[in-house]
Amino acid sequence: MNCLGVEQFPDYKVPGVQHVDFSPYESNGGSIVAIAGEDFVVIAADTRLSSGYSIHSRDQSKLFKMSPKTVLGSTGCWCDTLSLTGLVKVRMQMYEHTHMKTMSTDAVAQMLSIVMYNRRFFPYYVSNILAGLDKDGKGAVYSYDPIGHCERATYRAGGTAGALLQPVLDNQIGYKNQNLPADQLPPLTKERAVAVASDTFISAAERDIYTGDSVLINIITKDGVEERKLQLRKD
Amino acid sequence: MMNNSFAQPMWSNGPSPGQFYNFMGGNAPTQLPRELTTAGPFGTKHSTAAITTGSSVVGIKFDGGVLVAADTLVSYGSLARYQDIQRVFKINNNILLGGSGDFADIQSIKRNIDQKMIEDQCYNDGVIMKPGELASWLTRVLYNRRSRMNPLYIDVVVGGVDETGKPFLGNVDMRGRAYNDYVVATGFGRHLALPLVRERKPKDRDFTFEEATNLIRESMKVLYYRDTRSIPQYTVGICTAADCSIKGPFKVEENWTFAETVKGY
């Protein structure tokens, strides 16, 4: 069997040869929630870094400020998160030097997809959500799968409690299946977005052992990024 | 055929019928590292487990610096093979490194780091490496090795102070996972020492030097009592703006009088 020019182990069992049992991946937990409004976007992530039943750190930010208008939330395999965010930051700096301007949120979103797809057959094991203001100053949320599929949304939950949080957002932000006419949907305020994001994390910390300790909330407006912190249960 | 033109003839380097086009444009692919291409009868087998191992390393940050401690045992499986080997190293006047996991891999990475320090000195520009930079470098080396499925089986603690005297304490594992905190531990220390230290952390301030020393002493004692791959002798690295050195070896204050009262086995 030949793969990328490297002679590999044969597919059949060979006596005396043990197979590689090393896994390059590890789940380090953590959750992200992002909610976009008309002229703002809120992104929140918990600060617990764990593997299995061990908590490595109770104070690890998973939000990466990529530009004054863009914040990337990244969880999953922490070593992949570090490599991926590092690479994206480098490429954003290269863009800034060649084009003499900061990358727009939409451009970062597209680039992130490409950078991740580059590792299609050895993926970055990460759950990414990118939040920022788009070219028109509107709130934008982009979510990704580990191999780089990208989708723009108005709200999204990701990470270990993503499946726990998303239905809450569907109900509280999306007003799904409530048969409300479009003109009767209450407008989303910044305060409500922050309140809902906070509540989802308080709920997630009850049931997901990989989510807890505290939540960092970034509120992105045209004036900059406001940071808030909320304590969660630490058990 | 044209022979006075630099232009490539049409469809040169093209695929044979039924094959795919080679987008490298006929360029030879970049040479893979030697360890990946050395042919054996069944290819190359990479190390899959640690052989000689060091157990826990515990690091604690305090208001003026850091302490990094590890016992002096290097085990060979369950055999307490080498009993007087220091696993906490002084890298330069700003950096301490505590290593656990495969000791051969620790020694290998240590040689690399020492060479870097010599290069650093040769520049003679007054700029010396800070602990955060070493930790960052280690993440890249270890991440690259794990991505080649040929990892260094190590879990290291990097501690020290930067040029302003601000303490740094971090951990990098064999996959390149890295984080900083006021307390880090590897091996059994992660289960035994970490909760012990976190419990005593004042909310509003850092540890003092005295608190940190007491916690190290306490942690190494608990580890000796409960970790079978440990011995009652350890060294402690201390790094502050004024001093960066390895102290010890110290002995764990053993007390086995309680053993007489243990019943039921």
- CB of B219 closer than 8 Å to CB of B250: no
pTM of the model: 0.85
Measured between CB atoms, does B44 come within 8 Å of chain A?
yes
Main-chain dihedrals φ then ψ at residue B167, nearest 5 degrees: -75, 150
Which of B146, B152, B154 is the best residue to mutate to test the A interface, defined by the most A CB atoms within 10 Å of its own CB? B146
- Structure-token pair, residue B172: 């990098």
Tally C-beta pairs within 8 A across A and B.
Answer: 83
Confidence of residue A186 (pLDDT cuts 50, 70, 90): confident
- CB of A125 closer than 8 Å to CB of A30: no
User: Over 90: is that where the pLDDT of A96 sits?
Assistant: yes
Q: What is the DSSP letter of B24?
A: T
User: Over 70: is that where the pLDDT of A218 sits?
Assistant: yes
Residues from chain A that touch B45, judged by Cβ atoms under 8 A, are 9, 17-18, 20
For chain A, the domain total comes to 1
Distance CA A70, CA A63 (A): 10
Contact A82 B176 (CB under 8 A): yes
Contact B175 A77 (CB under 8 A): yes
Main-chain dihedrals φ then ψ at residue B168, nearest 5 degrees: -135, 135
Which of B42, B48, B154 is the best residue to mutate to test the A interface, defined by the most A CB atoms within 10 Å of its own CB? B42
Q: Which residue has the higher pLDDT, B64 or B8?
A: B64
Range of the domain at A194: 27-231
- Write down the domain spans for chain B: 52-251
Main-chain dihedrals φ then ψ at residue B245, nearest 5 degrees: -155, 170
Distance of alpha carbon B98 from the chain centroid: 7
Instruction: Give me chain B's average pLDDT, please.
Output: 89
Question: Which of A86-90, A158-162, B43-47, B259-263 bottoms out in mean pLDDT, i.e. has the lowest?
Answer: B43-47
Instruction: Give me chain A's average pLDDT, please.
Output: 92
Q: How long, in residues, is chain B?
A: 265
Residue type present at position B178 = A
Please tell me which of the candidates B43, B142, B146 has its beta carbon nearest to residue A8: B43
Q: What does the angle CA A129 – CA A131 – CA A134 come to, to the nearest 5 degrees? A: 135
Which of B34, B157, B177 is the best residue to mutate to test the A interface, defined by the most A CB atoms within 10 Å of its own CB? B177
Residue A85, min C-alpha distance to chain B (Å): 13
Contact B149 A22 (CB under 8 A): yes
Residue found by looking up tokens 């350890």 in the block: B234
Contact A79 B175 (CB under 8 A): yes
Measured between CB atoms, does A114 come within 8 Å of chain B?
no
Residues from chain A that touch B39, judged by Cβ atoms under 8 A, are 7
Contacts of A161 (CB under 8 A, 6+ apart): A31, A204, A207, A208, A210, A211
Residues from chain A that touch B40, judged by Cβ atoms under 8 A, are 7
Q: Which strand (E) or helix (H) includes residue B209? A: helix B209-226
**Helix, strand, coil fractions of chain B, as percent rounded to 5:** 30, 30, 45
Measured between CB atoms, does A54 come within 8 Å of chain B?
yes
Confidence of residue A183 (pLDDT cuts 50, 70, 90): confident
Residues from chain A that touch B181, judged by Cβ atoms under 8 A, are 56-59
Number of H helices, E strands in chain B: 5, 13
Is A202 strand, coil or helix?
A: helix
In chain A, % of residues over pLDDT 70: 91
Contacts of B148 (CB under 8 A, 6+ apart): B33, B36
Measured between CB atoms, does B2 come within 8 Å of chain A?
no
Distance CA A197, CA A37 (A): 13
In chain B, % of residues over pLDDT 90: 75
Distance CA A191, CA A69 (A): 19
Q: In b/e form, how buried is each residue of A164-197, taking b as 16+ CB within 10 angstroms? A: bbbebbeebbeeeeeeeeeeeeeebebebbbebb
Q: What is the DSSP letter of B4?
A: S
Contact B44 A10 (CB under 8 A): no
Measured between CB atoms, does B146 come within 8 Å of chain A?
yes
Q: At what angle do helices B131-147 and A78-99 cross, to 10 degrees?
A: 110
Residue B176, min C-alpha distance to chain A (Å): 5
Q: What is the DSSP letter of B260?
A: G
pLDDT for the residue numbered B36: 63
- β-bridge partners, A192: none
Q: CA separation (Å) from A71 to A132, A179, B187, B252, B254?
A: 6, 33, 34, 48, 52
Question: Which of A80-84, B39-43, B165-169 bottoms out in mean pLDDT, i.e. has the lowest?
Answer: B39-43
Question: Which of B44-58, B82-96, B207-221 bottoms out in mean pLDDT, i.e. has the lowest?
Answer: B44-58
DSSP character string of A108-128:
HHHHHHHHHHTTTTS---EEE
Q: What does the angle CA A180 – CA A186 – CA A187 come to, to the nearest 5 degrees? A: 135
Say if A13 falls within a structural domain.
Answer: no
Q: CA separation (Å) from B247 to A124, B89, B101, B149?
A: 42, 11, 22, 37
CATH classification at residue A198:
3.60.20.10
End-to-end CA distance of chain B: 92
- Paired sense of beta strands B79-82 and B74-76, if any: antiparallel
Compute the average pLDDT of residues B8-27: 62
User: Over 90: is that where the pLDDT of B126 sits?
Assistant: no
Q: What is the largest CA-CA distance in chain B?
A: 98
Confidence of residue B216 (pLDDT cuts 50, 70, 90): very high
Please tell me which of the candidates B32, B45, B177 has its beta carbon nearest to residue A78: B177
Distance CA A48, CA A159 (A): 12
Contact B32 A6 (CB under 8 A): yes
Contact A78 B143 (CB under 8 A): no
pLDDT for the residue numbered B99: 96
Say if A6 falls within a structural domain.
Answer: no
Report ipTM (2 d.p.): 0.86
Find the closest chain A residue to B148 by CA distance.
A24
Residue A8, min C-alpha distance to chain B (Å): 5
Measured between CB atoms, does A5 come within 8 Å of chain B?
yes
In chain B, % of residues over pLDDT 70: 82
In CATH, the architecture of B52-251 is 4-Layer Sandwich (3.60)
Residues from chain B that touch A14, judged by Cβ atoms under 8 A, are 42
Residue type present at position B132 = G
Residue B73, min C-alpha distance to chain A (Å): 24
Residues from chain A that touch B184, judged by Cβ atoms under 8 A, are 56
User: Over 50: is that where the pLDDT of B1 sits?
Assistant: no
pLDDT for the residue numbered B23: 59
For chain B positions 161-200, those within 8 Å of chain A (CB to CB) are 171, 173, 175-181, 184, 190-191, 198
User: Over 80: is that where the pLDDT of B192 sits?
Assistant: yes
pLDDT for the residue numbered B26: 55
Give the residue among B192, B102, B70 at the shortest CA–CA distance from A22: B102
